[in-house]
Structure 1
Amino acid sequence: MSKWFHEHQGRYQVLIAEMDDTIIGWASLNRYSNRCAYDGVADLSIYIERSYRGKGTGKALLQELEQIARLNQFHKIVLFTFPFNNLGQGLYKKCGYREVGVFQNQGILDGKFVDVMAMEKVL
């Protein structure tokens, strides 16, 4: 984890959401690619603790992270989500993200292949 945090400085930042001294969520801008042609594109990671989902924490983190992305000269944010993550996709779509496509058998979850949906937002 310390290596991951060390890599998230400067343009690639991490935001933490807390309530009553408890971390309830986080979001980060990650390097999309090491190729300089993609320096204006950030990859988004976001996690909200289950009992806090659907209560505005994700939206607040996402909106703040988009402002940080703009200030750091990113012109686009991409993200990857499971197609069955309807709550997350609802948030992303409300915030202006669009579905780009679905990678079939992209990952493994609980020992089974899962598809992964790509989404993007031009800032």
Structure 2
Amino acid sequence: MTTIRPVTEADADAITAIYAHHVLHGTGTFDIDPPGVAHWRHRIAEIRARCWPFLVAERAGRVLGYAYAAQFRDRAAYRASCEDSIYIAEEARGGGVGTVLLGALIAAAPAAGFREMVAVVGGPEPASVALHGKLGFREVGRLHDIGEKFGRSLDVLFLQRTL
């Protein structure tokens, strides 16, 4: 059974490994070099300090994915809008973990003062687009040929939903 729970600093190693796989093999993130565990420890602390939701999906003590919401942009007028980030371990993809995890993040975000959620999907990764669409996000914009990774020019898709 998959459990959704708040992140702890002890999850940093697992999060680092999950994200590194997506950096090195996918286009959902435009990072080229995977950040190390120190980056993730700092990111976890930063999000928790702001009381924004940062959740992990866990089964039998193993982290299968993580998701967090952070303010969409730094300027004050964006304070009620967040951007979600969700990454699932390769071995857990397609098993419903993403649906449960993103659903829990959507449910938790209003308590942090957010009323709109934006997904910024690189590539755009079809699985991420499908996941977000399944949970009520709609396409609101696209930047064409804005990034380059693996020798390909890539779009970025903006999806949005009211919380």
User: Any idea what SS the aligned residue of 1:34 has?
Assistant: coil
Residue 72 of structure 1: aligned partner:
112
1:86 corresponds, among 118, 121, 126, to 126
- The answer as to whether partners of 2:124 and 2:156 remain within 8 angstroms in 1 is no
Letter in 2 for 1:65: L
Distance 1:73 1:84, change over 3 A: closer
- The answer as to whether partners of 1:11 and 1:72 remain within 8 angstroms in 2 is yes
Q: Normalising by structure 1, what TM-score?
A: 0.90
1:8 corresponds, among 41, 44, 47, to 47
User: Which structure has greater strand proportion?
Assistant: 1
Letter in 2 for 1:44: D
Aligned length: 123
Distance 1:107 1:11, change over 3 A: farther
1:112 paired with 2:152, answer: yes
> Once the 2 structures are TM-superposed, how far is the Cα of residue 23 of structure 1 from its aligned partner?
1.3
Q: Normalising by structure 2, what TM-score?
A: 0.69
- The answer as to whether partners of 1:11 and 1:69 remain within 8 angstroms in 2 is no
Residue 97 of structure 2: aligned partner:
57
User: Which structure has greater helix proportion?
Assistant: 2
RMSD (Å) for aligned C-alpha atoms: 1.5
User: Any idea what SS the aligned residue of 2:56 has?
Assistant: strand
Q: Percent identity?
A: 28
> Once the 2 structures are TM-superposed, how far is the Cα of residue 107 of structure 1 from its aligned partner?
2.3
Q: How far apart, in 2, do the equivalents of 1:55 and 1:11 lie?
A: 29
> Once the 2 structures are TM-superposed, how far is the Cα of residue 20 of structure 1 from its aligned partner?
2.1
Q: How far apart, in 1, do the equivalents of 2:154 and 2:64 lie?
A: 26
Letter in 2 for 1:71: A
Alignment of 1:14-25 (within 5 A): 14-25=54-65
Q: Which runs of 5+ in 1 are unaligned?
A: none
